[in-house]
């Protein structure tokens, strides 16, 4: 259930006033919008934006051709700071004004607490970009410190490396928890920790959990919040105290340390979007990952969330925590088990449509981000071979050729290609894109690595048999079936397939 837009706007206005109370030059404008309604909300706020001295610069930025795509997105984010600097006369009557710009999609938050956490988090990005810019103007930035922004045409745009982004997001979450704790919401730390953990273990549309390493710091932060918040409550301005608290805690974490969160979070997200339970995800990380750091994060999360990880040793689905060789062996085993089953059924029933039916069923598994045992091109080729069966010859001879052709086609589609396709589908689904056969066709048409897969999907989608074309795709079509004995020994033996 989404948040009431009036409540969302009220929360954002409270945060804005708190920031401006400590940083008078900095005005944060939140464009609060519903799913797929960002552009409407942005233009509805035009008068408010234009009333600010830097409003014209801010309003123009998302309307330019090269940045207009920002208005078509849905992910809540801090965008930039527009600046207005007037030197005045002989140094008097200086007028510096900064307009920070944030987009907040209230449809993607399950509670007011989660929305407030992220609104404050984005405020931190505005504050730190503003202070970085001011420090640069005053020459207070160390020469060897990498730049964190680009200043062009009165617009200050954040520019981070991945490591810097992870660290900035960590500090943003620390700031959110710090500010609310100092304001008397002592439960805010636990709520934010739980929110970030669940965002990593569950399919959360539009949220890139791997970019928010807050959970890896829970033990240290828990100690600080329990034992040292009184020290920061002594100052009058709570927000400045929270800034100081955040900066001091943040110095204890290296960017390389927080970056390691990705080694747990990204595989966890892939499993979550494939339908796995949090307990299964934690179990896979604990029992199948080779990275000790991944195992320690899973153990920490299981403890904090009071979850009992499933004792996972091997999964029938793709396990991003396991090494590629293990996944590939499982993939091929499932492919061979499938051809075994289909050949037995074809032999006993005489039905020639079983292979094509199995291929159509695998389209649905791919839409659900499941690639283990996925072999549609090989199944289509097997269907072609069975369809060419001569009733005057034994079915066993045809099935020998089926097995041989199937194995060759399975080997022709590398496991790495399937995991690459898995990743593209995962990223698209997480961004909220609807995944259907047409979307799959679009994805597979954009890379030559997916040529055989694209041809297979196209043939099934059009309900037409695939056209043999060995020059286009060896995976889909080979030379016409020959009745001469096959010399190469198949991995799956036809004698075993036909045992009752």
Mean pLDDT over 231-257 rounds to 79
> Torsions phi, psi of 342, nearest 5?
-65, -40
Say if residue 252 is in the same domain as residue 339. Answer: no
In the prediction, which pLDDT does 339 show? 94
Say if residue 250 is in the same domain as residue 383. Answer: no
Say if residue 75 is in the same domain as residue 182. Answer: yes
Say if residue 114 is in the same domain as residue 228. Answer: yes
Q: Name the domain count of the chain.
A: 2
Range of the domain at 254: 5-194+209-259
pLDDT higher than 50, residue 471: no
**Residue 174 falls within a domain, yes or no?**
yes
**Residue 341 falls within a domain, yes or no?**
yes
**Residue 276 falls within a domain, yes or no?**
no
Say if residue 50 is in the same domain as residue 169. Answer: yes
In the prediction, which pLDDT does 140 show? 72
pTM of the complete model: 0.84
SS3 category, 26: strand
**Residue 14 falls within a domain, yes or no?**
yes
For 79, residues 6+ apart whose C-beta sits below 8 A from its C-beta are 61, 62, 70, 101, 102, 103, 157
| Minimum mean pLDDT range among 87-96, 230-239, 313-322 | 87-96
pLDDT in tens, 17-48: 999 999 999 999 999 999 999 999 999 999 99
**Residue 26 falls within a domain, yes or no?**
yes
Strand partners, 150: 157
Q: Which two tokens stand for residue 115?
A: 């929305």
Final residue before a domain boundary, out of 243, 259, 275: 259
Say if residue 331 is in the same domain as residue 427. Answer: yes
CA 99, CA 195: separation in Å to the nearest integer?
29
pLDDT, mean over the chain: 85
In the prediction, which pLDDT does 477 show? 30
CA 69, CA 248: separation in Å to the nearest integer?
37
In the prediction, which pLDDT does 464 show? 45
**Residue 283 falls within a domain, yes or no?**
no
Question: Residue 474 — pLDDT band, cuts 50, 70, 90?
Answer: very low
**Residue 280 falls within a domain, yes or no?**
no
pLDDT in tens, 289-319: 999 999 999 999 999 999 999 998 888 899 9
Closest CA to 272 of 282, 263, 262: 282
CA 455, CA 460: separation in Å to the nearest integer?
9
Say if residue 239 is in the same domain as residue 385. Answer: no
The four Cα atoms 173, 178, 183, 184 give a dihedral, to 10 degrees, of: 100
CA 432, CA 205: separation in Å to the nearest integer?
6
Say if residue 245 is in the same domain as residue 329. Answer: no
Say if residue 161 is in the same domain as residue 83. Answer: yes
Say if residue 255 is in the same domain as residue 402. Answer: no
pLDDT higher for 222 or 234? 222
**Residue 316 falls within a domain, yes or no?**
no
Final residue before a domain boundary, out of 259, 279, 299: 259
Strand order of the β-sheet with 155-158 is 26-33, 95-105, 77-86, 155-158, 149-152
Say if residue 14 is in the same domain as residue 101. Answer: yes
Angle between helices 415-430 and 324-349 (to 10 degrees): 100
Say if residue 345 is in the same domain as residue 483. Answer: yes
């Amino acid at each position: 259930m989404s948040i009431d837009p009036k409540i969302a706007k009220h929360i954002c206005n409270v945060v804005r006033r708190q920031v401006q109370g400590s940083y008078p030059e900095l005005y944060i404008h939140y464009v609060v919008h519903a799913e797929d309604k960002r552009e409407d909300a942005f233009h509805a706020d035009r008068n408010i934006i234009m009333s600010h001295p830097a409003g014209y610069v801010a309003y123009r930025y998302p309307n330019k051709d090269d940045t207009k795509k920002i208005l078509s997105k849905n992910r809540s984010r801090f965008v930039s700071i527009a600046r207005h600097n007037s030197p005045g006369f002989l140094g008097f009557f200086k007028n510096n004004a900064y307009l920070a710009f944030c987009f907040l999609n209230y449809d993607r938050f399950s509670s007011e607490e989660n929305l407030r956490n992220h609104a404050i988090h984005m405020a931190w990005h505005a504050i730190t970009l503003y202070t970085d810019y001011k420090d640069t103007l005053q020459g207070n930035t160390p020469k060897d410190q990498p730049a964190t922004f680009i200043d062009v045409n009165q617009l200050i745009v954040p520019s981070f490396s991945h490591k810097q982004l992870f660290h900035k997001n960590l500090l943003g979450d620390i700031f959110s928890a710090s500010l609310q704790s100092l304001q008397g919401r002592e439960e805010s730390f636990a709520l934010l920790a739980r929110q970030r953990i669940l965002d990593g273990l569950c399919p959360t549309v539009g949220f890139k959990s791997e970019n928010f390493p807050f959970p890896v710091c829970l033990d240290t932060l828990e100690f600080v919040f329990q034992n040292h918040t009184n020290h920061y409550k002594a100052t009058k301005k709570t927000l400045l105290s929270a800034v100081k608290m955040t900066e001091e805690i943040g110095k204890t974490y290296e960017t390389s340390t927080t970056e390691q969160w990705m080694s747990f979070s990204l595989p966890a997200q892939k499993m979550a979007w494939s339908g796995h339970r949090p307990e299964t995800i934690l179990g896979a990380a604990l029992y199948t990952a080779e990275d000790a750091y991944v195992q320690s994060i899973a153990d920490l999360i299981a403890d904090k969330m009071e979850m009992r990880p499933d004792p996972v040793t091997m999964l029938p689905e793709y396990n991003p925590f396991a090494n590629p060789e293990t996944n590939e062996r499982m993939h091929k085993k499932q492919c061979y088990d499938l051809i075994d089953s289909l050949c037995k059924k074809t032999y006993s029933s005489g039905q020639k449509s079983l292979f094509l039916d199995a291929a159509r069923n695998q389209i649905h598994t791919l839409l659900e981000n499941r690639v283990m045992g996925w072999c549609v091109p090989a199944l289509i080729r097997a269907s072609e071979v069975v369809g060419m069966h001569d009733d005057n010859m034994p079915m066993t001879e045809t099935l020998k050729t089926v097995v041989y052709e199937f194995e060759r086609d399975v080997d022709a589609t590398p496991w790495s290609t399937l995991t690459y396709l898995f990743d593209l589908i995962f990223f698209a689904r997480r961004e909220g894109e609807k995944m259907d056969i047409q979307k799959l066709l679009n994805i597979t048409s954009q890379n030559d690595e997916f040529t055989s897969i694209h041809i297979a999907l196209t043939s099934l989608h059009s309900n037409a048999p695939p056209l043999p074309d060995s020059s286009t795709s060896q995976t889909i079509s080979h030379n016409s079936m020959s009745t001469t004995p096959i010399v190469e020994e198949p991995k799956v033996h036809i004698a075993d397939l036909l045992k009752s």
